[in-house]
């Protein structure tokens, strides 16, 4: 490890010193406002939720309408967890139209299985005859494609022959999540939904999706909206929670939210949500509050409800976004031992100044190591502990690779918002970059001249000349063969030398 430490310790120490200076700056300005100080300027980052809900007597009407704003958000998470008063027996989630006005016979639903190939995931697509928007969306899984108004995702519970739904995504941008049911319970209900995308605030907000690509392996969704903007959602689900981590590729502003929470409330005990929590406090969902500051909001039921009793609570939180790159690229990147490599890190804290463990780690051919102020160690310890702050792209080191053994190096940069000196996987946010180091072979070039003859036809003979050149592991060979009967033949060969 000494060789690695000697080569990068100076640059890492520069990063640490910069962190200390920024933390001291932040410490002088801590307070209720969310001010984030750059090295070269100051910006104010605000995140807030607005109360645009209204009263209703209909338990099947989404009267809870909470758009969430933050013009500089690039990364947020939606977490669905079981209600605090559960586990609850599954009742089939029957609708309740008793307080609703008559709406005719309703539409018919036609659903088909689009993908069922890995024994873990099943993707189903549905068309609704009276869908309220004039569009459908294109649903793609591998080579399978279908037009639909919404898709349903079923995922196997580990160790059991059970495939409950955990996600529904609608053409109008609404996403519903729920965790797998607790052990011994058949299923749980859907309830609340979150519009993922720039839905203009309205009584019934929406953002039309043109295409969604499903990756069952990741698992993830890639969404393209009708305006050409995008979102990427990384997904996970187990018996405790379902999580969607959203990377924003769409525009937001003080008037366009990055997400909108949708639900229903008739009264406490007949609702899918009855309270909202944030850093500002705890409030009834249809209370007198008008705006609540972030960077997190928890939508939950304080009281048992007869409507969708087992439907989950929802937490929406803006996330820090770390990044690590090699030579300006997210990698993977291949270098020889003669090359120079630049590693940069950055962190968009999205306005968060919580205390955190800061981690910088290297998984090398000779072990896993972590940076500390005392150097690299194989002990799992963070490099720094302190508040989150905005860190612009910073060069950790720029050095020749010579001296590092050939092999694959994976570098990690991240923060853990539970500052306890350990990795808390539910609260760690990190990025990785892979660097493949190959052996350097010294450059050389030369020319070889000779003659040739055929062992089968001795009358055929001639001269041959070969020029061989290698520069930075790139090999080229030019061969020229001559004969009085058939003239001159040339061949040009090139390749890449990985090792001796």
Per-residue confidence (pLDDT) for residue 475, from 0 to 100: 62
Residue 370: strand pairing partners: 361, 377
Residue 500: CB atoms within 10 A of its CB come to 5
Residue 187: alpha-carbon gap to chain centroid: 27
Per-residue confidence (pLDDT) for residue 493, from 0 to 100: 66
Low-confidence residues of the chain, pLDDT below 50?
A: 1-44, 498-500
Q: Which stretches does DSSP call E strand in 100-162?
A: 109-115, 121-128, 137-141, 144-148, 150-155
Per-residue confidence (pLDDT) for residue 463, from 0 to 100: 74
Residue 409: alpha-carbon gap to chain centroid: 22
Per-residue confidence (pLDDT) for residue 458, from 0 to 100: 66
- Name which of 18, 396, 11 is nearest 26 in CA terms: 18
pTM of full prediction above 0.75: no
Per-residue confidence (pLDDT) for residue 488, from 0 to 100: 74
Q: What is the pLDDT of residues 101-114, one digit of tens each?
A: 987 657 899 999 99
Q: Could you tell me the two tokens for 495?
A: 């390749």
**CA distances for 274 relative to 66, 84, 96, 120, angstroms:** 13, 13, 17, 35
Q: Could you tell me the two tokens for 416?
A: 């853990």
Spatial distance between the Cα atoms of 385 and 362, rounded to a whole number of angstroms: 19
Rounded (5°) CA angle 423-428-431: 110
Task: Write a three-state SS string for 194-227.
Answer: EEECCCCCCCCCCCCEEEEEEECCCCEEEEEECC
Q: Could you tell me the two tokens for 386?
A: 């302190």
Per-residue confidence (pLDDT) for residue 485, from 0 to 100: 64
Per-residue confidence (pLDDT) for residue 102, from 0 to 100: 84
């Amino acid at each position: 490890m000494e060789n690695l430490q000697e080569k990068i310790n100076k640059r890492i120490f520069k990063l640490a010193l910069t962190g200390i200076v920024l933390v001291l700056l932040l410490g002088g300005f801590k307070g209720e406002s969310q001010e984030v100080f750059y090295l070269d300027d100051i910006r104010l980052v605000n995140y807030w939720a607005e109360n645009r809900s209204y009263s209703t007597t209909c338990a099947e009407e989404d009267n809870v309408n909470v758009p969430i704003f933050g013009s500089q958000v690039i990364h947020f998470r939606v977490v669905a967890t079981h209600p605090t008063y559960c586990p609850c027996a599954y009742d089939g989630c029957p609708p309740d139209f008793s307080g609703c006005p008559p709406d005719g016979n309703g539409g018919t639903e036609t659903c088909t299985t689009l993908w069922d190939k890995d024994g873990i995931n099943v993707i189903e697509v549905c068309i609704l005859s009276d869908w309220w928007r004039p569009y459908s969306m294109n649903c793609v899984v591998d080579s399978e494609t279908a037009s639909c108004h919404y898709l349903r995702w079923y995922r196997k519970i580990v160790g059991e022959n059970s495939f409950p739904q955990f996600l529904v995504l609608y053409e109008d941008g609404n996403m519903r999540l729920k965790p797998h049911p607790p052990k011994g319970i058949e299923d749980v209900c859907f309830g609340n939904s979150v519009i993922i995308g720039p839905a203009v605030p309205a009584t019934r907000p929406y953002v039309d999706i043109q295409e969604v690509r499903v990756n069952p392996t990741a698992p993830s969704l890639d969404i393209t909206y009708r305006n050409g903007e995008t979102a990427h959602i990384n997904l996970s689900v187990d018996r405790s929670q379902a999580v969607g981590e959203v990377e924003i590729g769409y525009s937001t502003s003080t008037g366009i939210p990055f997400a909108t929470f949708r639900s229903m409330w008739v009264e406490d005990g007949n609702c899918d949500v009855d309270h909202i929590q944030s850093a500002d406090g705890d409030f009834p969902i249809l209370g007198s509050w008008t705006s609540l500051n972030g960077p997190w909001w928890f939508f939950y039921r304080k009281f048992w409800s007869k409507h969708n009793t087992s439907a989950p609570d929802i937490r929406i939180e803006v996330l820090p976004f770390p990044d690590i790159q090699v030579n300006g690229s997210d990698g993977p990147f291949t270098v020889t031992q003669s090359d120079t490599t630049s590693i940069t890190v950055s962190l968009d804290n999205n306005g968060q100044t919580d205390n955190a463990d800061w981690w910088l780690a290297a998984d090398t051919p000779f072990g896993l190591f972590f940076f500390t102020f005392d150097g690299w160690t194989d002990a799992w310890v963070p490099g720094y502990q302190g508040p989150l702050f905005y860190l612009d792209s910073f060069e950790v080191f720029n050095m020749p690779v010579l001296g590092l053994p050939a092999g694959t190096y994976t570098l990690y940069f991240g923060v853990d918002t539970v500052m306890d000196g350990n990795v808390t996987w539910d609260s760690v946010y990190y990025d990785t970059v892979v660097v493949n180091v190959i052996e350097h072979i010294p450059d050389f070039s030369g020319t070889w001249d000779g003659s040739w003859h055929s062992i089968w036809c001795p009358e055929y003979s001639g001269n041959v000349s070969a020029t061989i050149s290698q520069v930075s592991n790139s090999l080229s060979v030019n061969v020229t063969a001559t004969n009085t009967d058939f003239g001159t033949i040339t061949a040009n060969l090139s390749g890449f030398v990985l090792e001796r």
